[in-house]
Amino acid sequence: MTTLAPTLSTRYFPRTSSWLRDLALIVAGSLLVAALAQITIPLPFTPVPLTGQTFAVLLVGAALGSKRGLASMILYTVEGAIDLPFFAGGASGWHVLVGATAGYLIGFIVAAYVIGLLAERGLERNVRTSFVPFFVGTLVIYFFGVAWLSTVLGSLSKAIVAGLLPFVIGDIIKLILAALALPAAWKMVK
């Protein structure tokens, strides 16, 4: 009987089935980012920790596409804002959305959308070309993160030293890992 359920649901309620699938993917994407946000290495010279979030954002954007990726990152941000311990290191609450890392959180939303747009144009189809959307997405995250951090620290040069330079090597590694993990992410989405 359980094997008939997807067939009946798809046959009689195709839009409901598609909507539920999209919702499940959006929630799964937000949970992936939340899980990898718990991999946190605090750096003593910056208020921005090293986390696994960027890796997750890259995968979510490429695997889910622009609209679902965007929705997933908005959901992730709302989940953390309503006190679920989903931000880096288990942080939560509205104060995080105005703190030193707020720009990065906004950058995650925009980056997932941009990566998704580039992926929908076929740039994520193989490991070699997937670097383009992942690199662009990383630049978007840096743009928003460093811009906001500069207002918090009172200086663009301080923000670059604290919010960009320490993360470049790690983010290059995350780009490579995301490109390698992408085929598995596609299988999960399909």
Q: Has residue 109 been placed in a domain? A: yes
pLDDT tops 60 at residue 47 = yes
Q: Which amino acid is at 156?
A: L
Tally of domains in the chain:
1
pLDDT tops 60 at residue 152 = yes
Q: Determine the pLDDT at residue 14.
A: 55
* DSSP helix/strand/coil, 118: helix
With contact defined as beta carbons under 8 Å apart, do 48 and 96 qualify?
A: no
Q: Has residue 31 been placed in a domain? A: no
Which residues are registered as beta bridge partners of 40? 51
**82 φ, ψ to 5°?**
-90, 25
pLDDT tops 80 at residue 57 = yes
pLDDT tops 50 at residue 2 = no
Q: What does the alpha-carbon distance between residue 184 and residue 27 come to, in Å, rounded to a whole number?
A: 18
Q: Has residue 126 been placed in a domain? A: yes
Q: What does the alpha-carbon distance between residue 186 and residue 190 come to, in Å, rounded to a whole number?
A: 6
**Cα-Cα-Cα-Cα dihedral of 25, 30, 33, 34, to 10°?**
-130
Q: What is the mean pLDDT of residues 36-57?
A: 95
Q: Has residue 2 been placed in a domain? A: no
Q: Determine the pLDDT at residue 16.
A: 60
Q: Determine the pLDDT at residue 188.
A: 72
Q: Has residue 145 been placed in a domain? A: yes
Q: Please report, for the domain that includes residue 79, its CATH number.
A: 1.10.1760.20
Q: What does the alpha-carbon distance between residue 100 and residue 159 come to, in Å, rounded to a whole number?
A: 10
Q: Has residue 51 been placed in a domain? A: no
Q: Has residue 84 been placed in a domain? A: yes
Q: Determine the pLDDT at residue 181.
A: 84
Q: Determine the pLDDT at residue 40.
A: 95
pLDDT tens by residue, 104-122? 999 999 999 999 999 999 8
- Mean pLDDT, the chain, as a whole number? 89
Q: Has residue 16 been placed in a domain? A: no
pTM: 0.87
With contact defined as beta carbons under 8 Å apart, do 95 and 80 qualify?
A: no
pLDDT tens by residue, 167-177? 999 999 998 89
pLDDT tens by residue, 76-111? 999 999 999 999 999 999 999 999 999 999 999 999
pLDDT tens by residue, 113-147? 999 999 999 876 777 788 889 999 999 999 999 99
Residue 74 lies in domain:
64-190
Q: Determine the pLDDT at residue 127.
A: 74
Alpha helices in 82-167 (DSSP H): 102-120, 127-153, 156-163
